[in-house]
Amino acid sequence: MKDNPIGIFDSGVGGTSIWKEIQKLLPNEDTLYLADSKNAPYGEKPSKEIVLLSRKNTEFLLQKGCKLIVVACNTATTNAITHLRGHYDVPFIGIEPAIKPAALNSKSKTVGVLATKGTLASSLFHSTSENHAYGIQVLEQEGTGLVELIEKGELQTPKARSLLKKYLDPMLDKGIDYLVLGCSHYPYLIPLLRELLPEQVRIIDSGEAVARQTKAILLERDLLNPHSSQVKHQFYSNIDNTVLRNLLHNTDAEIEVSYMDF
């Protein structure tokens, strides 16, 4: 099992922001990434459908022999990871908004969370917020339309700028000093966010934390790959994979990107 790949799935290309952190921290590990772009965004779907899509993705990755699965989608994590852990005998790593570090470090006691509807409506998100943000005002904002723009590769367009400004301005008016990105697609908007946010507002995403947790679980289960040669990174998308390739073009790792209908 040590030589088997780490499986990663997301509702599209956004989870590649998580893959980059995992690949950087665990350079000896093979990975297999599933971009379910045909069904993006998950954040607008009912919980039952999100669970079914997550099961479909999980079963494909298990058929490919994955030794651990990273649910690189906030909406799938918050809606489906408990179900997945109860039905499949493989470790799962989830991703949820990094409210805890924002709440611990906020000076203004006001933090913003930009996330999908599916994440913000989930019980896991609310329990995380209640557990870690006592005495902190958490301003929730649905990022409607952002995933669709990122899936089309529109990262610096006037439309992306206009939508972000619309979502950020009310939070800035209330004095946030941290912005938590609650969707794995959103780190690709960080260059634009930095243009729109004052210098004192810090941006937090979950990528590094997910990579560290992945490493910790592999160590705990004695599943770390000890070999460093011929590392393989396979990516599958169920739509045209041009955007996926563009997001991966500056990585040093050897990758293989393929279309597959699933």
On whether the CB atoms of residues 208 and 21 are closer than 8 A, the answer is: yes
Contact 50, 2 (CB under 8 A): no
Q: Report how far residue 28's alpha carbon sits from residue 228's, in angstroms, rounded to the nearest whole number.
A: 5
On the question of a cis peptide bond just before residue 41, with omega within 30 degrees of 0, the verdict is: yes
Q: How many CB atoms lie within 10 A of CB 116?
A: 27
Residue 66 a catalytic site member:
no
Strands annotated E in the chain: 6-10, 31-35, 68-71, 92-93, 110-115, 137-142, 178-182, 202-204, 233-237, 255-259
For residue 140, give the 3-state DSSP assignment.
Answer: strand
- Kindly name the residue from 8, 68, 183, 239 that is annotated as catalytic: 183
Helices (H) and strands (E) in the chain, counts: 11, 10
Strand partners, 141: 114
Q: Which residue's structure tokens are 């997550």? A: 54
The structure tokens 């690949």 sit at: 23
Strand locations in 154-232, DSSP E? 178-182, 202-204
Report the amino acid identity of residue 123: S
CB 25 within 8 A of CB 87: no
Exactly one of 68, 70, 73, 180 is catalytic; name it. 73
| Catalytic residue list | 73, 183
